[in-house]
Structure 1
């Protein structure tokens, strides 16, 4: 049985905080490999329950990462803030490398493109301590900037886009292991649940009820990194909630969907009703922005009743001309109506967050200030 080591690298940044952050794609890949007979192991550099990285969990399972100040890149030297590595110590990482059986291949994921220094350091340490084991890089950074990743990280292989089947087939070829293609999943319901059992402690879990997004907002890379918009069945989603809730005692779940409210009558509404019908006492969170235009009284009341505690609405900008350039998902009036509807359903306005974007090409600071003032006026 071939042994595969999964690695979620460190974050290098001015600031980082664990707001329901888990390497969900990597955990799906691991679960798929395990289904086809591979033995998997995980090193998550952002696991706050690793020795030496423990931090007190805060509201709803979130919390601080271990922070180590490191040398700042020269290009950022003019910024008067400390640059830091977030996550376990390098010494602990090396200990973990030697604590698992020697892997036949190492899979490294990547998230933000500018976090690549964490990816680079993880791969360096793997090669120093494990020698010439095949290293496979996937994730968002690898998908968006594959040429940069080849030059800077120099992995043996790169997987772009959704990685479950691509990684399985690559390993099958590398190790000359036949795969029965008739057993490959034909839809999202046939994918195994992500391998959360690889963690010793669970403050929360994350869940993806759909993949992709049918919109094409100018600021979003979703169409480049995901499959076309596809939903899981309501029953399959409810089975995952119930399975992880009962197996691990988890009550906090964060939705990772980019279009959670799309086709709400067929998807999120029956999901929330199913949670209530099954008597699942959960706390639900929406760190990805929700489509404010789709919030109506029925949905708002179900959200409140089913335990949606964190409500974050996508707004982006109050500037009409800018909105027409990048997306038309929400208007100022839509946001006002959504907040009033949520308030009538039982939410306090202080419990509702709104995303405003800054740093868009050609965007003046006055536009950002205008958007902030508008949101705070509500």
Structure 2
């Protein structure tokens, strides 16, 4: 039988790169925690109707990209293609709005879309995101943008750009939609096939087309900003003023509409010039109608999602992934020494030290070579003599200094040991 390999559009995240993933997750958790966002973990699969109603049946995500199947109860189930609809469903189902008027929530995990695999986007990919539910204030829009910016800055990412637009409210967008259809209809035959299909179903998505001929046509299309009502215009101006107050630079991109139907007012993307065509690392906006659309009371909300794989691509350009290295390496030979060494190793781990235990039973010379290669500053050595005397050999691998202590004395002085290890730069 042949080797079973991972499916196309999925990939294994291996130890050599996991350090970048842990870095992203740790910084996101820290920044979001300091802004009082609480983590939520909705299910990986939901009723298909949740996404059809929430995202919009005319979108590419619902129409072309969802992993949908019937379960044994003949229910239509879909692997989540994004998080927001599931988070809002949880918000409604568990009455989170009654616990506090404003709910700050964040999430991380895999999402699934059946599309052509590309750099930084597989069919199973990962997102970290935040949702602020319960406030229609422009300051809420700016807060979530600021939190996203803090995460990216703490990761050390450069060449980032914030694109900003307003897609207005439903009334604004209805007027603009018709104006866009009127403009594009005479050009129908010159549009790419996807844009021709979108012309009556979801014309705003044509503005996002990557087809060069279509891009040239939409350059002269009417702009949504010209169709904003007074309320939408005031909201957008306040968002810009608050971003300026925070020192967050941005540019107005009137073609930015995002790909999902639930957006209202603010839409934004944070892009990197270091990612080529797939430049967006964070995207989001306001979605004031979604809670009511999914059966809850009318509730304003705003949020964003980051593509983790794209962040990893940027981090790989900056530096190699940090590797997990031991602080102490244990070598032993013989049944009794091995038993005692294992006890020492476990007690050290329980006190917060990273300890690698050599399981080979090979000659000490070979085990000590592996200790040198491991990067550990300190090697513990237990042979028959040490086991009989209740001692342990300590070898500092950089200086070759070698001493011996009783095992009891060694364990009593772990805090002193930690301080010395910290001076070697091995303790994170």
TM-score (norm 2): 0.21
More strand by share: 2
